[in-house]
């Protein structure tokens, strides 16, 4: 029996706006995702971390340095502190929940960038009932495995690098 995932179940090829379309707007910001949606994208890719108090935020790096000039780590800040920090372009670091609420038809491929984000990410997906709109992955297979264990077989997921290489090598055998 073949499982079907709404995240992947489309009649044509699907373009995914990486970090919301980072070449046209500041990556992983609400304006980037808004621009992607305006262009007709149905899928976006983004990265998530968790604040010290467990808020899932959209950001690629573990620190704010590259995007804001602030050298602190996201994991060391509470949401109340992080929400006041702006990127070089004046944008806030968005909560994943805000994006999910703003675009209820958008499919989102999420990379869990830290171990600390796994539990709050799974809780958010469960609470909002959005598992059908989500695809997850991580460079650390254990993060994906934890999300799959918590969210079940309805979760669309991708393996990390080593399992992908193993599958590729099996094709040569």
Minimal CA–CA distance to 28: which of 58, 54, 50, 66? Answer: 58
Per-residue pLDDT at 9 exceeds 80? no
> Is residue 148 scored above 70 in pLDDT?
yes
Q: For 35-82, give the DSSP string.
A: HHHHTT-SEEEEEEEE-TT--EEE-SSSBSHHHHS---BGGGS-HHHH
Three-class SS state of 137: strand
Q: What is the mean pLDDT of the chain?
A: 90
The tokens of 89 are what? 């372009």
pLDDT the model gives residue 31: 97
163 pLDDT above the threshold of 70: no
Other C-beta atoms lying within 10 Å of the C-beta of residue 46: 24
Token pair listed for 105: 């038809």
For the annotated catalytic residues, the residue numbers are 18, 60
State pTM to two decimals: 0.89
For residues 90 and 29, is the Cβ–Cβ distance under 8 A?
no
Model confidence pLDDT, tens digit, residues 70-113:
999 999 999 999 999 999 999 999 999 999 999 999 999 999 99
Helix axis angle, 141-151 to 118-128, nearest 10°:
30
The reported pLDDT for the residue numbered 17 is: 87
DSSP state of 92: B
Could you report the per-residue pLDDT of 33-79, keeping only the tens digit for each? Answer: 999 999 999 999 999 999 999 999 999 999 999 999 999 999 999 99
pLDDT at 167 over 60: no
CB-facing half-sphere around the CA of 25: CA atoms within 13 A: 20
| pLDDT at residue 10, as a whole number | 72
Percent of the chain past pLDDT 90, that is, above it, reads: 73
Q: Tell which phi-psi region holds residue 19, choosing left (phi > 0), alpha (psi between -120 and 50) or beta.
A: left
The phi, psi pair for 62, rounded to 5°, reads -70, -25
Q: What is the pLDDT of residue 168?
A: 56
């Amino acid at each position: 029996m073949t499982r079907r995932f709404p995240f992947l179940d489309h009649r044509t090829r699907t373009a995914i706006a990486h970090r919301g379309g980072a070449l046209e707007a500041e990556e992983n910001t609400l304006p980037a995702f808004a621009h992607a949606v305006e262009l007709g994208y149905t899928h976006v890719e983004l990265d998530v971390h968790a604040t010290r108090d467990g808020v899932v935020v959209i950001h690629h790096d573990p620190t704010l340095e590259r995007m804001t000039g602030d050298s602190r780590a996201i994991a060391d800040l509470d949401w109340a502190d992080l929400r006041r920090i702006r990127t070089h372009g004046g944008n806030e670091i968005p909560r994943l929940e805000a994006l999910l609420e703003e675009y209820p038809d958008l499919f989102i491929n999420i990379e869990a960038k830290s171990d600390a984000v796994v539990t709050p990410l799974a809780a958010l997906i469960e609470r909002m009932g959005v598992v059908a709109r989500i695809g997850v992955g991580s460079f650390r297979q254990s993060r994906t495995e934890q999300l799959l264990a918590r969210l079940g077989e309805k979760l669309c997921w991708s393996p990390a690098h080593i399992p992908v290489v193993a599958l590729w090598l099996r094709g040569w055998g």
